[in-house]
């Protein structure tokens, strides 16, 4: 039938999606309906050469797999930390979360190697595109997404379009500052919400407590060999560790106040949290918004993303949306 | 000649502009070219009834003067503190800077009394419209203006349009928070840039120093009867008062960090400061942006408005732009 034909096209027309994060480098095959058909994960190499080499290697591997799966790859979408000029496909500048990653033309080498069109944008912006196409942002004219991973990224949809800004520095939501001093941030400044509430910030605090032998509490299972993570901090707090609790409270307050700043600047109707810490942050953030935002902004909804992987899906959506609009 | 005819029309077609601030209520006659032909100033009354009465009284007085000046008044533009629904001409909610000023329909009573179309928007938004039509924002696609008076207001122009947001709470730039605690703000929260850097905040600190006999320094002229103001704080600092200097430094840092938050959220190409403290803040703010913003945002220009009165001119511009576009 006709609808089966359409279904078949939607399943076979696919994108290669690449996500370059502070920790991992991932490549996936994503079909038109937003299903991740195959995903490859490697630690993100520390040097430019190793990183570029691994990107191409993983893309080729995924291409072979796409052939095997009978998927037609329409292009490559790249999500990366740092500021990106999406018109040129160039990473302009990154914080030290991704080293050797400034003034990097990603489009040319990938396009030359793969013989495919390539789109590049910031990971937070990609997450916003994913929410718009596949998630809670579907049909919402003005929304913001905040993705909490190693760092904190974000994207802003205004009048149904991404806000890139005059120097492609809009929606750098991790570097909203909520303290005149405050902890040092990967960007070189202080008091950014990334320095309070990112996975990396919580891990830093967990390690600090652990080093002072103040992390582990009664009933907490933790092997000596285990690396200390944000999850340990959350467990410790839930088991009554007051120091862990205070650190997490401050992280929630910082994130909440940062989000209020977004509400008082662009006033979206919806805030979508994603990343591993999203569901942990949702309620406290909503509570802080109720307590500290201007009355007119208190009604704004804070939700947790239900997407498996917003950055990858958003990278794919650049390909899937552009190629089906037949513009490049 | 034809161009003289046009000049004549531009001079006679005018707007009544009303500005409702934390301190004063002002009404002006503004011609098409942005010249303020006549301006009336009164203290803004503390109660709703007195305020509405005075607005109408001052508008009638200005109308009489317009007849005398041979100006054709096309409508009334109102700039006010607080959140405004400009589609309805309603003040939704104000901070305690303007009391008894929530859920107020301004369009209907003014329009009924004056038999003229009425436009209403937030004072910061009006200031942005003024910069766009008459000031540094002419032809600039993405800019932000911050107006420092009794409180702090702001407006954002994105793709040459005001950003109002989903609940008319966008560009509430005075309530960007740069501290998790920090001084109490008129909005009920803490750590807002208005609570650090507004005229009211500096006056509060000046008074505090004065009460502790720590304000006046050698060479400073200050009468006993004089009310203590922000200007005294600036004078004291310039004459070497270290406490006054520290307070002003913190105000500059707070404003600078608040502006960086704007840069990291909407990334305009230009920041226009207006209000009495604008020229004082320009250099320190530019310095803080250079020191603490992400590299991609450090190049953003910070300038001081050269408009006589942005809120009034912006209120007028709503009338002058809309009526000449023949839409209401
Ligand atoms: Ca972003
Ligand atoms: Ca405003
Ligand atoms: Zn930062
Ligand atoms: Zn406030």
Instruction: Band the pLDDT of A328: cuts 50, 70, 90.
Output: very low
Spatial neighbors of B36 by CB under 8 A, at least 6 apart, are B28, B29, B30, B308, B309, B312, B313
Lowest mean pLDDT among A221-225, B72-76, B154-158: A221-225
The CA B259 to ligand 4 mean position distance, Å, reads 15
Retrieve residue B5's tokens: 């005819």
- Chain A nearest-CA distance from B214, in A, is 25
Retrieve residue B218's tokens: 């050698």
pLDDT tens across A5-47, in order?
A: 766 766 689 999 999 998 999 999 999 999 999 999 999 999 9
CA angle B153, B178, B196 (to 5 degrees): 60
B121 touches A at CB < 8 Å: no
DSSP string of A230-291, one letter each residue: HHHHHHHHHTT-HHHHHHHHHHHHHHHHHHHHHHHHT--SEEEEESTTHHHHHHHHHHHHHH
pLDDT tens across A153-193, in order?
A: 999 999 999 999 999 999 999 999 999 999 999 999 999 99
pLDDT tens across A259-273, in order?
A: 999 999 999 999 999
* ipTM exceeding cut-off 0.90 for this assembly: yes
Q: How far apart are CA A80 and CA A293, in angstroms?
A: 31
* Residue in B with minimal Cα distance to A96: B294
Q: Do the chains contact at A167 and B264, CB–CB below 8 Å?
A: no
Instruction: Band the pLDDT of A226: cuts 50, 70, 90.
Output: confident
Retrieve residue A260's tokens: 């209020």
| Of the candidates B197, B253, B302, B200, the residue with the CA atom closest to the CA atom of residue A177 | B253
Q: How far apart are CA A26 and CA A49, in angstroms?
A: 17
B165 touches A at CB < 8 Å: yes
What is the structure's pLDDT at B327?
42
Chain A, 15 to 74: residues with Cβ < 8 Å from chain B are none
For β-strands B24-31 and B36-43, DSSP reports them as antiparallel
Residue B11 Cα distances to A185, A252, A321, B138, angstroms: 54, 56, 51, 20
What is the structure's pLDDT at A95?
83
Q: How far apart are CA A266 and CA B166, in angstroms?
A: 8
Q: What is the arithmetic mean of pLDDT over A271-279?
A: 96
Q: Reply yes or no on whether B123 is catalytic.
A: yes
For β-strands B152-158 and B143-148, DSSP reports them as antiparallel
pLDDT tens across B184-221, in order?
A: 999 999 999 999 999 999 999 999 999 999 999 988 88
Q: Do the chains contact at B169 and A83, CB–CB below 8 Å?
A: no
pLDDT tens across B99-143, in order?
A: 999 999 999 999 999 999 999 999 999 999 999 999 999 999 999
Residue A186 Cα distances to A22, A150, A221, A242, B177, angstroms: 11, 11, 31, 27, 21
Q: What is the arithmetic mean of pLDDT over A62-82?
A: 95
Given A19, A121, A123, A309, the catalytic residue: A123
pLDDT tens across B293-321, in order?
A: 999 999 999 999 999 999 999 999 999 99
| Of the candidates A212, A231, A211, A209, the residue with the CA atom closest to the CA atom of residue A221 | A231
Q: How far apart are CA B315 and CA B55, in angstroms?
A: 14
Q: B125 in helix, strand or coil?
A: helix
């Amino acid at each position: 039938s006709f609808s089966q034909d359409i279904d078949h096209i939607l399943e076979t027309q696919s994108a290669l999606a690449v996500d370059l994060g502070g920790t991992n480098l991932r490549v996936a095959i994503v079909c038109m309906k937003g299903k991740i058909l195959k995903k490859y994960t490697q630690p993100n190499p520390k040097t430019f050469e190793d990183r570029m080499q691994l990107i191409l290697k993983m893309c080729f591997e995924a291409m072979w797999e796409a052939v095997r799966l009978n998927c037609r790859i329409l292009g490559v979408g790249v999500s990366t930390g740092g500021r990106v000029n999406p018109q040129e496909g160039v990473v302009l500048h990154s914080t030290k979360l991704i080293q050797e990653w400034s003034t990097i033309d990603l489009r040319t080498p990938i396009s030359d190697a793969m013989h495919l069109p390539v789109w590049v944008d910031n990971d937070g912006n990609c997450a916003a595109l994913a929410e718009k196409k596949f998630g809670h942002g579907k049909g919402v004219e003005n929304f913001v997404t905040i993705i909490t991973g190693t760092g904190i990224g974000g994207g802003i949809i205004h009048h149904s379009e991404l806000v890139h800004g005059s120097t492609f520095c809009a929606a750098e939501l991790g570097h909203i500052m909520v303290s005149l001093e405050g902890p040092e941030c990967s960007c070189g400044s202080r008091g950014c919400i990334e320095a309070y509430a990112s996975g990396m910030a919580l891990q830093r605090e967990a390690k600090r407590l652990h080093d002072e032998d103040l992390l582990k509490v009664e009933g907490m299972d933790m092997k000596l060999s285990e690396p200390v993570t944000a999850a340990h901090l959350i467990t410790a707090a839930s088991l009554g560790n007051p120091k862990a609790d205070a650190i997490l409270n401050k992280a929630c307050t910082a994130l909440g106040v940062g989000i209020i700043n977004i509400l008082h600047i662009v006033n979206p109707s919806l805030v979508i949290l994603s990343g591993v810490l999203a569901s942990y942050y949702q309620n406290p953030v909503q509570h802080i918004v109720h307590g500290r935002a201007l009355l007119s902004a208190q009604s704004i909804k804070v939700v947790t993303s239900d997407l498996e992987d917003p950055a990858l899906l958003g990278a794919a959506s650049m390909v899937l949306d552009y190629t089906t609009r037949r513009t490049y």
